[in-house]
Amino acid sequence: MEVHLTTPLKTEDLEKLKIGDQVFITGTVYTGRDAAHKRLVELLQKGEKLPFNAEGQIIYYVGPAPAPPGKPIGSAGPTTSYRMDPYAPALLDVGMKAMIGKGPRDQSVIDSMIKNKAVYLAAVGGAAVVVAKSIKESKIIAYEDLGPEAIREMKVENFPCVVANDVYGNDIYKSGVEQYKR
């Protein structure tokens, strides 16, 4: 099924999603990789505010290439998500509703998605230039010292993804393997 979502995300919209659904996102998406995630979780542990309001938002695991002249961003393909697994539950607990990356997630993250009614979306690796075309604006909002891994606020239009984990704990990385075995 093809679904169009606009941020901030609402639980009732996510409850309709099933693994394998094609999702096109429009609105604001934040970026961050492991170094930024570590800092975000440290802020939460200190009781401090995040550099953005996580409620209903999406974080994209990407370290984009520098923007060529006239473009908001360079190549922006997903990074492997398991490196964010130690930090993802804390962000889901404060309202984050979706993560975008590639590769399977740890069971602790899947359990947190079920608890928080959140989803994990897979972006197509190897199609970074295509993905970047859906990014209309990009600005660094935190941790500029991390270079490409700084947190960015991006405005996206019809950003393409596939539901890899739904709010019910279904996992395309497991069911896909089982289906292939048959």
Which residues, at least 6 apart from 99, have a Cβ–Cβ distance to it below 8 Å? Answer: 58, 59, 60, 61, 81, 84, 88, 118, 119, 120, 121
Report the SS3 class of residue 62. Answer: strand
Bridge partners, 139 (sequence order): 153
| Catalytic residue, candidates 23, 31, 34, 37 | 37
Q: In the chain, where are the structural domains located?
A: 2-181
37: annotated active-site residue: yes
pTM: 0.93
CATH architecture, domain 2-181? Alpha-Beta Barrel (3.20)
In 3D space, the residue among 31, 41, 167 whose CA is nearest the CA of residue 109 turns out to be 167
pLDDT in tens, the chain (182 residues): 899 999 999 999 999 999 999 999 999 999 999 999 999 999 999 999 999 999 999 999 998 888 889 888 888 888 899 999 999 999 999 999 999 999 999 999 999 999 999 999 999 766 666 777 889 999 999 999 999 899 999 999 999 999 999 999 999 998 765 555 55
Residue 171 identity: D
